[in-house]
Structure 1
Amino acid sequence: MAGPSDVCVLLPTMDEAATIEDVVAAYREEGFENVLVVDGGSTDGTQRLAAEAGARVIEQSGEGKGQAVREAVRDHIDAEFVLLADADATYDAADAPAMLEPLRDGRADHVIGDRFADIRPGAMTRLNRIGNRLINRAFARIHGQDYRDILSGYRAFTRESFEALSLAAEGFGIETEMAVECVKRDLTVEVVPITYRPRPEGSDTNLHPIRDGGIIFLELYRKAKTNNPLFYFGSVGTIATIGGILVAIYVLYDWIAHGIGHEILAIVSAAGILLGIQLLMFGFLADMILTLHRERLGDGD
């Protein structure tokens, strides 16, 4: 069985001076000596405090959490397992063994910590709770898997499985992208209940709920192109068709009731309906091709 020496605790940071020492110390107390802090250019002393607490510290070459994670795994981690956490003290180092157990037992390639299993008062605003629920439901609907908390920053994965993922997100979209890629690559994912705590006083979040939530929804939709083409093309096709029909109803009503013709609107209506039907047909065809492709891969195994 792998021990703590086969695990690298990865902590992306950006101005986390208020919490970084305690977070690094907590993982070291759990027996994890290999703690890697990848810093995005903090100006509050985060790097110095992390190093003093016993972490290995590097400064990332680019910007954003996603880029930090990719660079760390690609260039600075040799351990078999990676435990990814935030440096804001919201996650409990004591949950690390449970997060790593499915990897060590060979049950999973990727583990997601479910914050909603034990979320403490004040850890998440009502707006964030609603946004998280909507995003998780959208993910389950679009990609066909319910991982319960795809935005969780507490992850554990094998380095080998991570290298199989095609990741490009720069910021907080990295969690969503990893979840989508796990579905696409047919990786085994296990969800583990964890504790989620409020940020300590004096620790400010780098997350912007409206902006980052919008980015995550767009990422979910964009990734549906290859995972669920029927939804990707069908949703736009349905909107275009319904819009065209509504315009057609208005044109027809105005012509019958008042004798007023709307030639341009009639053309727009016809174009919308035709475009919508074509997109729906393309979505069905693409979905059939994807299904056949997956069946052939399954037969090949």
Structure 2
Amino acid sequence: MEETKKTAILIPCYNESKTIENVIRDYQAVMPHAKIYVYDNNSSDGTDEIARKAGATVRYEYRQGKGNVVRSMFREIDADCYIMTDGDDTYPAEFALELEKQIYSKQADMAIGDRLSSTYFTENKRPFHNIGNVLVRKLINILFKASVKDIMTGSRGFTKEFVKSFPVTSKGFEIETEMTIFALDNNFKIVEVPIEYRDRPEGSESKLNTYSDGYKVLKTIGTLFRDTKPYAFFSIISLFLLVVGGAFFVPILLNYLETGTVARYPTLIVITSLGIIAIISYFCGVILEVLKKQHRHNFERNLNLLNELWQKNDDKS
């Protein structure tokens, strides 16, 4: 790593007083060149004071939710490499060095700490979390034709380009899913690094609600699928409506061919309406796909301009 390069360790925290000091000490030992930022999200157990005494720079985000914290971190911190981890001491610090290496060697725009390929399923004692991770992974890989192994890990490395171009819209734990889909949709380079995972120490409780947060993640996937792949999304709706309409239309058609009369006019009217809606839905998808491609072109153009501006600033300094 070049001496002029700046690495920032970002740790979003909510009531992690039992573990935050150990997390900070581990990163200080493994990555002494990096600056550690702890963003306190309305903790009531003195997490911020413990982090400050341990040597971290402490900042605050008063809007509750991990997505809100990530938004503030990405907006406020300026660095060349960003390493994000959790304050619950579940991700060993030594693996962050490999994430950092992937970023500085330009192998990745987002380096993912892959828990699911190592110790996650044996260490994590919450079976519904395990099932949810597998379900989300399969769903995203099918919808976005990808092969990402760990969608929801909290251990990640980012380039400056990724951080400053990522529009955070999630408020809670669905933020990791949003990051992954954003990277896939915008053709950012993703590298997965197998890392060890250890369950929370005794007395440390997870803030993740399996059912409500799981619902939010699935809702986020659906929303982002609609926004990033509108042609596929609305084509599926059109096909569904046509299949339903066809199932009701066939008996009416057979009856007409047999008797020469239409027996169920109300049903035929509903079927016709479904057909019209299906056609409208399909062409909405076509129009939105064109707009999406235009947005993609603008995004790439603006990203290139940002890179040129940063390069000029680096040359001056």
Q: When the two structures are superposed, what TM-score results if normalisation uses the length of structure 2?
A: 0.82
Identity of aligned residues (%): 28
| Corresponding position of 1:279 | 281
State the shift of 1:239 in Å. 2.5
Q: Is 1:68 equivalent to 2:69 in the alignment?
A: yes
Separation (CA, whole Å) in 2 of partners of 1:92 and 1:80: 22
| Corresponding position of 1:97 | 97
| Corresponding position of 1:88 | 88
Secondary structure of 2:117's match?
strand
> Structure 2, unaligned stretches of length 5 or more?
305-317
Secondary structure of 2:12's match?
strand
Counterpart contact for 1:241–1:275, Cα < 8 Å: no
User: 1:44 corresponds to which letter in structure 2?
Assistant: D
Separation (CA, whole Å) in 2 of partners of 1:15 and 1:94: 24
Separation (CA, whole Å) in 1 of partners of 2:205 and 2:249: 52
User: 1:279 corresponds to which letter in structure 2?
Assistant: S
Counterpart contact for 1:109–1:187, Cα < 8 Å: yes
State the shift of 1:48 in Å. 1.3
Listed one character per residue, the Cα deviations across residues 40-77 of structure 1 (whole Å, up to 9, x for unaligned) are: 110011111111222111111422111111212212x2
| Corresponding position of 2:272 | 270
Counterpart contact for 1:86–1:154, Cα < 8 Å: yes
Secondary structure of 1:89's match?
coil
Count of aligned residue pairs for this structure pair: 298
Secondary structure of 2:44's match?
coil
User: 1:276 corresponds to which letter in structure 2?
Assistant: A
User: 2:22 corresponds to which letter in structure 1?
Assistant: D
Counterpart contact for 1:140–1:146, Cα < 8 Å: yes
Separation (CA, whole Å) in 2 of partners of 1:272 and 1:207: 41
Separation (CA, whole Å) in 2 of partners of 1:208 and 1:73: 25
Separation (CA, whole Å) in 2 of partners of 1:97 and 1:189: 16
User: 2:37 corresponds to which letter in structure 1?
Assistant: L
Q: When the two structures are superposed, what TM-score results if normalisation uses the length of structure 1?
A: 0.86
Secondary structure of 1:88's match?
coil
Counterpart contact for 2:123–2:197, Cα < 8 Å: no
| Corresponding position of 1:11 | 11
Counterpart contact for 2:115–2:197, Cα < 8 Å: yes
Separation (CA, whole Å) in 2 of partners of 1:239 and 1:281: 15
State the shift of 1:86 in Å. 0.9
Moved more, 82-91 or 273-282: 273-282
Q: Tell me which stretches of 4 or more aligned residues in structure 1 moved more than 6 Å.
A: 250-257, 291-298
User: 2:275 corresponds to which letter in structure 1?
Assistant: I
Separation (CA, whole Å) in 2 of partners of 1:3 and 1:93: 21
Listed one character per residue, the Cα deviations across residues 68-110 of structure 1 (whole Å, up to 9, x for unaligned) are: 11212212x2221110011111111110111111111111111
Listed one character per residue, the Cα deviations across residues 236-295 of structure 1 (whole Å, up to 9, x for unaligned) are: 2222222323344576799999x9954433322322233224423543565577679879
| Corresponding position of 1:55 | 56
Give 1:1-301 correspondences, 5 Å limit. Answer: 1-2=1-2, 6-32=6-32, 33-75=34-76, 77-120=77-120, 121-123=122-124, 125-248=126-249, 261-283=263-285, 286-287=288-289
Counterpart contact for 1:245–1:273, Cα < 8 Å: no
Counterpart contact for 1:143–1:227, Cα < 8 Å: no
> Structure 1, unaligned stretches of length 5 or more?
none
Separation (CA, whole Å) in 2 of partners of 1:137 and 1:194: 20
Listed one character per residue, the Cα deviations across residues 171-227 of structure 1 (whole Å, up to 9, x for unaligned) are: 112111111221233221111111111111111111112222221222122222342
